[in-house]
Amino acid sequence: MSEAFIAKVPERIWAGGRPARARQWEAEFNVASWVRVTGARGRVELRVCCLDEKGEQAVVVDCAEVQGEGSALLSGVVKLRLSDSVEQIQVTLGLSDPSMRYVVEELYMQRRGMALDPQDKLISNY
């Protein structure tokens, strides 16, 4: 499965609500994306990847089978184990066929359990 970079998640989204003086903590996030796919049928996966001193951890948010042309709403809740050495968190798309073409129409990520303003969510229109 090939992997395509979608977006880097701003620190304000994943670091907000971090417990004081915590070197490691867990956080849950609501993640959703509309993806339009053309060119081939196959599987698409929305993933959240975290890079820190221990390497990369990737969590699958959701997956769908597409029939060559169409849109898929990929959404779910992910739990990330974060440390004070997080370099970046990004959202990627896994594609089962390299000839698949995609357009990410919207992307959303919000920490669960926090009252956030609209600017505290990752919202992108491509």
CATH number of the domain within which 69 lies: 2.60.120.260
Provide the residue-wise pLDDT of the chain in tens; the chain has 126 residues.
899 999 999 888 887 767 777 778 888 999 999 999 999 999 999 999 999 887 888 999 999 999 988 899 999 999 998 887 788 999 999 999 999 999 999 999 988 876 666 665 666 655
pTM, two decimals, is 0.86
**Nearest one of 14, 74, 76, 22 to 50, comparing CA atoms:** 14
Beta strands in 39-118 (DSSP E): 41-52, 55-67, 70-83, 88-95, 101-111
pLDDT in tens, 39-74: 999 999 999 999 988 788 899 999 999 998 889 999
- Structural domain count, the chain: 1
